[in-house]
Amino acid sequence: MRTIANPISVHKFGGAALANADAIRAVVNILAGTSGERVVVTSALAGVTDILLNIARAAAKGDLATAHAQADALLERHVSVAKSIDSAATSTLTYIDDSFKELHKLAENVAQARDLSAQMSDLIISRGERLAARIVADALRVEKISACVVDATEFLHSDGRFGDAAPDIARTEIAAQNIFPDKLRTGDIVVVPGFIAAGSSGANGSTGPVVTLGRGGSDLTATVTARALGAKEVTLWKDVPGFLTADPRLIPEARVVPLLDPREASELAYYGAKVLHPRALIPLDARTTLRIRPFNQPDAAGTEIVQGRSMAGSPVRALSAMTAQALVTVAGNGMLGVPGIAARTFGALANAGISVSLISQASSEHSICFTVPEVAAALAEKELRAAFATELERNEIDSVEVLLGVATVAVVGSGMARTPGVAARVLGCIADAQVNVIAIAQGSSERNISFIVNKECVPKTVRAIHTTFSLDKVGGGRTARRRGADVILLGCGRIGQELLKNIAELPSNDRAALRIIGVLDRSGFMLEKRGFSLRALSDISAHKQRGGSLKTLPHAHSGAPTAAIEHIASHALTRPVLIDLSSGDTRETLLRAVAHGMDLVIANKIPLASDSASANALLHDARKRGRKVLHEATVGAGLPIIDTVEKLIASGDRILNIVACPSGTMGYLFSELGRGRKFSAALRNAMQLGYTEPDPREDLSGRDVARKGLILGRLIGYVGELNDVAIESLVPTNLRDISLAHFAEQLEMLDQEWSERVRAVTSKGEVLRYCANITRASVKVGLVGVPVGSLLGSLSGTDNQFVFTTTRYRDNPLVISGPGAGPAVTAAGVLNDLLRVVIS
Ligand code: ADP
Ligand code: ASP
Ligand code: MG
């Protein structure tokens, strides 16, 4: 074997790095910054493999029109990228043209046969990487970097299995050593199409038809090539900052793991960490370091995977999940102590070409269960029933059962072997998240605990473990998340409209960081993953204010808010925040949102003023999951009331008493009465100005003030329910249950009594105020007379006032007053909270 003197490096670029001509130029830039002998492995341009597969499947269904149309669009895309890279590269243009001519032909053959063999599928999709390799080589030459293309089938030998071939490392090594050294020595960068290989050899040593290495296989091309050439380094340039502690689509705050042992990385990849082909680490030997680095930040170190080195720190390194699994259980009394059942079980599956991942056998040997890919479940069941036909008949084996829709979650880390209690912590936190574990297995290496859960539970399971082991704090790593936050609005009426106005006025950087991706109401929801335009939102809000429901809008889904949260949470979200602008009982929705990792900004008083058990459950749950709950707008709208209470408490002060006028409606009413206005006239005016709820009795009953009092009370340690709050209602008993119209007609009848009350306090030099009086022991709301010249007495219009008497502010209480009612200031409070969540 010839040895190669210079250190060789292999660089693989995934589809996302080859999205378009600009991206490809950025790839060339990265390569221009490297030196030594270099091999470049290319994926297909972004999304191309999927489109080629669609074409093949459409053809197999006889839908040639679709197949041809998609092929033409794809041709167009390649031609346009190639021309933009190098308009003079006629040989590439001819190559592209020929490749697509062949594709049209193949599609016709498939359509005629109405069958898509694995061999044909591989032949069709293999062109994606071959086209990309040529375009990348052109792009290098344009920048005066000499480059040539070596087709993978010239050296990468395999076992010839279509769709999922395994490389033949020994043969590949010999072939590569024959081809590469000369080319590399002349200074060429050798560009190799990834993902494809030569089929198995016939008896005469010839190679078979082209095969593919399984989806994501260009990672494997890179590591096999590195092995064959004894390369010092392989770098996989991806769209993530490195190998992350969890899939960033599930856990936006996942962090880069700076250093991984190949065995750890292998287990993660095997159990579904999509960042790496599951078999990519097999060829890697001790000479070679593998790096996963972000192509859009070429200076970042990413993740280094190298034998014999691993990181200290948490026993758990990272998590992965594999969905679309089925759990098969073979059970029966006759299995007890009978040797060979397991061997026969797995033998039967191996013969059918079904690969088994997690295996768990109860020590009683009464049953054995394992997972197989969901698509193979029916075949697995059939094979097992055939293999155990006799035992089934004799009832030695009772059943072969298949449970579909499960997922395997793997918790991986070398440190687990040395740390007692990891399994208990893992299982404890998933139990807390109320996830049922269906089966569990711990590898004897103790490097991996994997278990089966229902597939719907994967996000919350992964999140629970991620939080429990503080993986979002892994040192040295950077988070994967995009900047900013994905915001979901629950309710989008008047406050929503004001919020949009405020957002539109933000500096453009902040505005761009707030993507409103979802809007919900009782009837349905709308979702736009890239974020709605302010214009679209404004239309939605206008529709809501006209009394329309969301589900009647085009592109809306119907469904309850809880279902909407489930749906939205199943997408990849960045820093999701749910804003509750509604006025209903949203407890269940908020709990769901927290369970899916959302932070909450709440303007709605109902959930926090509901029974203490549910209000506490929400806050407790959020704290446990590290989620924030900000609700400044529930009391005093945009005034910093909650914030002040929290800061006083945090700084060690003790709040003895809060006296507050927290209702703009009541404030307006009594300042008008003080100026000699009649009650009926003042109330009618308040209704016209939009200061009251649609039914003003909501305000006059005192319940709104009581809710605010309760929310404040709970912050300072009041333990009690809304029913425990002493409420003085201003609605006479006989007017409580009549219609609004009827109530409105009776207002004048109340004038007399109110004039007398006003006169009585005026004679004492006082004015009437509707106040909440809050201590740790009690919350009371009702009408009081206060001296004209006092702080509360001087309050006017819809202004709110809060007077805090604390250990430090005892003689001279702390007072906050200002506009505390109305959509505009409420929206300001909400925006403030939102920015606090997003910036922290
Ligand atoms: P390539 O462009 O090289 O083919 P992939 O798309 O195959 O890259 O892999 C990167 C993707 O893997 C990321 O976009 C991310 O969504 C997903 N992913 C899943 N689990 C992880 C993880 N633990 N770390 C990083 N990325 C992950
Ligand atoms: N293009 C292939 C795929 O999409 C291989 C790869 O990207 O690694 O699976
Ligand atoms: Mg990939």
Tens-digit pLDDT profile for residues 533-571: 888 988 998 898 888 899 999 889 999 999 999 888 877
Q: Among the atoms of ligand 2, which is closest to the Cα of residue 43?
A: 7
Nearest residue (CA) to ligand 1, atom 11 = 275
Q: Nearest bound ligand to CA 236?
A: 1
Report pLDDT for 722.
Answer: 95
412-422 confidence digits (pLDDT tens): 998 887 788 88
- b/e burial code for range 111-149 (CB count within 10 A of at least 16 → b): beeeebeebbbbbbbbbbbbbbbbbbbbbbbbeebebeb
Among 239, 266, 274, 290, which is best to mutate for testing ligand 1, by the most ligand atoms less than 8 A from CB? 274
Res 665 pLDDT > 80: yes
599-612 confidence digits (pLDDT tens): 999 999 999 999 99
Report pLDDT for 92.
Answer: 97
245-283 confidence digits (pLDDT tens): 999 888 888 899 999 999 999 999 988 899 999 899 999
Q: Among the atoms of ligand 1, which is closest to the Cα of residue 12?
A: 3
Separation of 481 CA from ligand 2 center, angstroms? 23
Neighbours of 409 (CB within 10 A): 27
Report pLDDT for 479.
Answer: 54
DSSP of 417-453, one letter per residue? Answer: GGSTTHHHHHHHHHHHTT----EEEE-TTSSEEEEEE
798 by DSSP, 3-state: which? coil
Nearest residue (CA) to ligand 2, atom 6 = 216
Q: How confident is the model at residue 592 (pLDDT cuts 50, 70, 90)?
A: very high
766-794: average pLDDT: 93
Report pLDDT for 2.
Answer: 46
Report pLDDT for 400.
Answer: 92
Separation of 596 CA from ligand 2 center, angstroms? 30
Q: Looking at the DSSP assignment, which residues form a beta bridge with residue 806?
A: 655
Res 68 pLDDT > 60: yes
Q: Among the atoms of ligand 2, which is closest to the Cα of residue 44?
A: 1
656-673: average pLDDT: 93
Report pLDDT for 574.
Answer: 76
Report pLDDT for 314.
Answer: 76
Res 1 pLDDT > 50: no
Separation of 295 CA from ligand 3 center, angstroms? 13
721-754 confidence digits (pLDDT tens): 999 999 999 999 999 999 999 999 999 999 999 9
Report pLDDT for 470.
Answer: 86
820-829: average pLDDT: 87
For 186, counting Cβ atoms within 10 Å of its Cβ (0-12 exposed, 13-18 middle, 19+ buried), the class is exposed
Which residues are in the CB-under-5-Å shell of ion ligand 3? Answer: 216
Q: Among the atoms of ligand 1, which is closest to the Cα of residue 17?
A: 2
Q: Nearest bound ligand to CA 128?
A: 2
Separation of 46 CA from ligand 1 center, angstroms? 13
Q: Who has greater pLDDT, 149 or 398?
A: 149
Q: CB of 247 closer than 6 A to ligand 1?
A: yes
Question: What beta strand segments (E) does 70-221 contain?
Answer: 147-149, 189-193, 196-199, 208-212
89-93, 291-295, 352-356, 680-684: range with lowest mean pLDDT: 352-356
Q: How confident is the model at residue 367 (pLDDT cuts 50, 70, 90)?
A: confident
* Phi then psi dihedrals of residue 676, to 5 deg: 95, 5
Q: How confident is the model at residue 511 (pLDDT cuts 50, 70, 90)?
A: confident
Q: Among the atoms of ligand 1, which is closest to the Cα of residue 246?
A: 23
3-state per-residue secondary structure call for 706-772: HHHHHHHHHHCCCCCCHHHCEECCCCCHHHCCCCHHHHHHHHHHHHHHHHHHHHHHHHCCEEEEEEE
Report pLDDT for 28.
Answer: 97
Separation of 127 CA from ligand 3 center, angstroms? 16
Mean per-residue pLDDT over the chain, rounded: 90
Q: Among the atoms of ligand 2, which is closest to the Cα of residue 216?
A: 8
Q: CB of 718 closer than 6 A to ligand 1?
A: no
Q: Who has greater pLDDT, 223 or 431?
A: 223
Q: Are 260 and 243 in contact (CB under 8 A)?
A: yes
Q: CB of 16 closer than 6 A to ligand 1?
A: yes
186-208 confidence digits (pLDDT tens): 999 999 999 999 998 655 556 78
Can you give the pTM of this predicted structure?
0.64
Distance CA 281, CA 169 (A): 13
Q: Among the atoms of ligand 1, which is closest to the Cα of residue 247?
A: 20
Res 435 pLDDT > 60: yes
Q: CB of 215 closer than 6 A to ligand 1?
A: no
7-20 confidence digits (pLDDT tens): 899 999 999 999 99
787-796: average pLDDT: 86
394-407: average pLDDT: 91
Separation of 214 CA from ligand 3 center, angstroms? 10
Residues framing ligand 2 (Cβ under 6 A): 14-15, 43-44, 49, 128, 194-195, 215-219
Report pLDDT for 478.
Answer: 52
681-715 confidence digits (pLDDT tens): 999 998 888 788 778 998 999 999 999 999 999 99
794-820: average pLDDT: 89
Report pLDDT for 607.
Answer: 96
